[in-house]
Amino acid sequence: MRKDFGAKPYTYPQPVLMIATYGEDGKPDVMNAAWGGISDDKEISICVSENHKTTENILKKGAFTVSMADVEHMTACDYVGIVSGNKEPDKFVKAGFTAEKSEKVDAPIIKELPICIECKLKSYDKDTCRLIGEIVNVSVDESVLDENGNVDVAKAAPITFDPFNNAYIRLGEKVGDAFKAGMALK
């Protein structure tokens, strides 16, 4: 037996993406977005409406960063998803974030969040709210790397959005090796 939920944006898990930009005044801005993901090998797509301060900044600057929200900063990441940059111009600082200018694009890296995708604006469709960014670089704080220089997901402690229960979920447990586990069925 299955239960129908109807046509809903329910996929699991959904990343909690922190989109950061600079305004024309040079102030950093950030918003929380869960509707996004990789859409090509060097491309990220995010659904974000044009009425956000962040969207306005992206269209003017042509650049943005996308950081992965983590357990340690969940409250701050949730705050910037609730509060509008159009109403609270200092929400980046009020959230407790520190901006570090990206060397690759004209956008801030959030120092407190260890994983960051640095992007140039590729396109934006205001009718569908689809923002597409060209991935220029991925930078990772060394504190979340393992002894081989790879990201240790347990150290990074990223969170995802659970749309079924309106909750954040911590990632971190390895359950198998991709592109190897299925070999047992051959």
Report all structural domains of the chain as residue ranges with CATH numbers, in order of start.
14-185 (2.30.110.10)
CA angle (114 as vertex; 112, 115 as ends), nearest 5: 130
Burial per residue of 20-31, b for 16 or more beta-carbon CB atoms within 10 angstroms, e otherwise:
bbbbeeebbbbb
pLDDT at position 180, please?
A: 79
85 pLDDT exceeds 90? no
Task: Write the pLDDT tens digit of every residue in 130-186.
Answer: 999 999 999 999 999 999 999 999 999 999 999 889 999 998 777 777 887 777 777
Render pLDDT for 25-61 as a digit per residue (tens, 0 to 9): 999 999 999 889 999 999 999 999 999 999 999 999 9
Q: In sequence order, which residues have a C-beta less than 8 Å from that of residue 15 and are 6 or more positions away?
A: 34, 36, 37, 68, 158, 160, 161
Q: What is the pLDDT of residue 89?
A: 86
What does the DSSP assignment read for the chain? ------S----SSEE-EEEEEE-TTS-EEEEEE-SEEEEETTEEEEE--TTSHHHHHHHHHSEEEEEE-BSTTHHHHHHHHHS-TTT-TTHHHHTT--EEE-SSSSSEEETTSSEEEEEEEEEEETTTTEEEEEEEEEEE-GGGB-TTSSB-HHHH-BEEEETTTTEEEE-------TTTGGGGG-
Q: What is the pLDDT of residue 45?
A: 97
Please state whether beta strands 63-68 and 17-22 pair in parallel, antiparallel, or not at all (unpaired).
antiparallel
> What pLDDT, on the 0 to 100 scale, is given for residue 8?
83
Residue 161's alpha-carbon distances to 31, 80, 172, in angstroms, are 14, 15, 14
Distance CA 106, CA 102 (A): 7
Structure tokens at 174: 């390895």
